[in-house]
């Protein structure tokens, strides 16, 4: 084992052990907390999952808010996300969630402090903790962890993408696997998943009227996944450009994209909703631009919501 990976793994195990034994304390909010997280650094589909679960809760009439760190924002403190605001103020993913769900979304370095503000300002019955599996300083009532096929073969940071070892799934109440992947279908028998509730989701990409030869670009954790989804959907880009995750676009980036379009004879652009948020007003320079929505479809959604509501005590199934 690489010394850096060994040191990171030891630190992760020690931190979790301190929480498990109560030597590090977790603050508890008055209302139940449902955490949605993953083991690896990005690419598991947490934001589309939050939106999909939120839509299911809204359909049941359950009022909720979302608590997030607000990764990449330039502001500090607890803020209520303005859906018409900018990624610089709130972070790209909280902004996407606020626009997609039209529910209170709060960002803060301390999700506990964000939750206290939410409980003062809003009549939510439930908090959704975005990207919360490693944020153990906030107590949660139900832990959902999204797992990718790569996680079962990956290594810990810094050489791999895992934030925690697979053994950490012992803390999870439910593990979500992608039904799109044969690798994930076979992974259900992995020892780390023994005795766990396994939920399945399908990833989908939707868009309307893309140009005939678009330049495809994105700044997400797994760009090749997006490029592949486009090809499966019948879009074959004239060129592909990948930026780092959460990339906030500049005028220089726009010039590079326009130059690439001219070099390859493209006739437009296609990107993700997350990238459209990070483009801000610069998106007007990439005309025509098609924005593709990334979504997840949950298998047995009624059972999933029933389980969460029953376990959190928000209400009983069928009540």
Q: What is the pLDDT of residues 237-261, one digit of tens each?
A: 999 999 999 999 999 999 999 999 9
Q: What is the biggest distance separating any 2 CA atoms in the chain, rounded to whole angstroms?
A: 61
State percent of the chain over pLDDT 70: 93
pLDDT tier at 6, thresholds 50, 70, 90: low
State percent of the chain over pLDDT 90: 81
Which pLDDT score, from 0 to 100, does residue 5 have?
Answer: 62
Which pLDDT score, from 0 to 100, does residue 318 have?
Answer: 46
Question: Where exactly are the structural domains of the chain?
Answer: 3-203+297-312, 212-287
Which pLDDT score, from 0 to 100, does residue 9 have?
Answer: 66
Would strands 33-38 and 126-130 be described as parallel, antiparallel, or unpaired? parallel
Q: What is the pTM of this model?
A: 0.92
Instruction: Note if the bond before 258 is cis, omega within 30 degrees.
Output: no
pLDDT tens-place string over residues 105-142: 999 999 999 999 999 999 999 999 999 999 999 999 99
Q: What is the mean pLDDT of residues 164-183?
A: 86
Q: Which residues contact 103 (CB under 8 A, 6 or more apart)?
A: 54, 58, 63, 64, 65, 66
Q: Is 162 helix (H, G, I), strand (E, B) or coil?
A: strand
pLDDT of residue 4 exceeding 70, the answer is: no
Write out the CATH class of domain 3-203+297-312: alpha beta
Q: Is 116 helix (H, G, I), strand (E, B) or coil?
A: helix
Taken in order 297, 302, 303, 309, the sign of the CA dihedral is positive
Take residue 155 and report the two structure tokens written for it.
């290594």
Which pLDDT score, from 0 to 100, does residue 19 have?
Answer: 81
**In the chain, what are the helix, strand and coil shares in percent, each to the nearest 5?**
40, 20, 40
pLDDT of residue 228 exceeding 80, the answer is: yes
Q: Measured between alpha carbons, how far is residue 8 from residues 3, 13, 21, 222 in Å?
A: 9, 9, 20, 23
Which burial class, exposed, middle or buried, applies to 287 when counting CB atoms under 10 A from its CB (0-12, 13-18, 19+)? exposed
Q: Is 318 helix (H, G, I), strand (E, B) or coil?
A: coil
Q: What is the mean pLDDT of residues 178-191?
A: 69
CA nearest neighbour of 237 among 213, 221, 260: 213
């Amino acid at each position: 084992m690489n010394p850096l990976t060994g040191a990171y793994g030891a630190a992760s195990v020690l931190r979790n052990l301190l929480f498990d034994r109560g030597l590090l304390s977790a603050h508890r909010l008055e209302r139940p907390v449902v955490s949605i997280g993953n083991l690896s650094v990005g690419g598991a589909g947490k934001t589309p999952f939050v939106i999909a679960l939120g839509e299911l809760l809204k359909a049941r009439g359950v009022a909720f808010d979302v608590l997030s760190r607000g990764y990449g924002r330039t502001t500090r403190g607890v803020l209520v996300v303005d859906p018409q605001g900018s990624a610089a103020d709130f972070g790209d993913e909280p902004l996407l969630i606020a626009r997609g769900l039209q529910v209170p979304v709060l960002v803060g370095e301390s999700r506990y402090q964000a939750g206290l503000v939410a409980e003062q300002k809003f009549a939510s019955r439930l908090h959704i903790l975005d990207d919360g599996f490693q944020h153990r300083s906030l107590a949660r009532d139900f832990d959902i962890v999204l797992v990718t096929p790569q996680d079962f073969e990956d290594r810990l940071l810094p050489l791999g993408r895992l934030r925690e070892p697979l053994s950490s799934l012992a803390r999870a109440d439910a593990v979500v696997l992608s039904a799109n992947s044969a690798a994930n279908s076979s992974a259900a028998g992995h020892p780390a998943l023994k005795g766990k509730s396994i939920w399945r989701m399908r990833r989908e990409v939707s868009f309307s009227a893309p140009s005939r030869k678009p330049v495809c670009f994105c700044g997400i954790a797994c760009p090749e996944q997006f490029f592949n989804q486009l090809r499966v959907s019948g879009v074959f880009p004239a060129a592909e450009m990948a930026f780092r995750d959460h990339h906030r676009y500049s005028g220089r980036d726009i010039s590079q994209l326009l130059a690439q379009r001219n070099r390859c004879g493209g006739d437009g652009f296609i990107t993700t909703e997350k990238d459209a948020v990070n483009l801000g007003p610069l998106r007007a320079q990439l005309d025509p631009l098609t924005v593709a929505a990334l979504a997840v479809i949950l298998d047995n959604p009624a059972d999933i919501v029933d389980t969460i509501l029953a376990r959190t005590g928000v209400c009983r199934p069928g009540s």
